């Protein structure tokens, strides 16, 4: 891995615990792909330091309403701050890594 490619930005620790919530809609193709993609990113870049909660809005509509989810799949990075939202199937790994503050812009 090239120097500086995968790192935390600012004063956040490289060992920060990530708290992620992925809102999906049942077993649709986009939702299934988003689950697969975020699990892959987590295992490759956050191995052992993440908590990923997958929430099906069909079963937990109240949680989606509370988080003001307007599109699915939606990934919310709750920790470390700042809070970030990523919408879509999470197939563009560079965008996901930027959104999670795991990759700095070159």
The pLDDT profile of the chain, 106 residues, written as one tens digit per residue, is 343 333 334 334 468 899 999 999 999 999 999 999 999 999 999 989 999 999 999 999 999 999 999 999 999 999 999 999 999 999 999 999 999 999 876 6
Tokens matching residue 21:
């919530």
Q: Where are the domains of the chain?
A: 18-99
9 Cβ neighbours under 8 A, 6+ residues apart: 101, 104
Model-level pTM? Answer: 0.84
CATH of domain 18-99: 3.40.30.10
């Amino acid at each position: 891995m090239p120097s500086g490619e995968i790192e935390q930005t600012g004063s956040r620790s490289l060992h920060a615990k990530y708290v992620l919530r992925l809102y999906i809609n049942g077993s649709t193709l986009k939702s299934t792909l988003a689950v697969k993609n975020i699990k892959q990113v987590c295992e490759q870049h956050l191995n052992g330091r993440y908590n990923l909660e997958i929430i099906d809005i069909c079963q937990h509509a109240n949680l989606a309403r509370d988080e003001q989810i307007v599109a699915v799949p939606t990934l919310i990075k709750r920790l470390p701050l700042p809070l970030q939202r990523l919408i879509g199937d999470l197939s563009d790994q560079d965008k996901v890594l930027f959104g999670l503050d795991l990759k700095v812009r070159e």
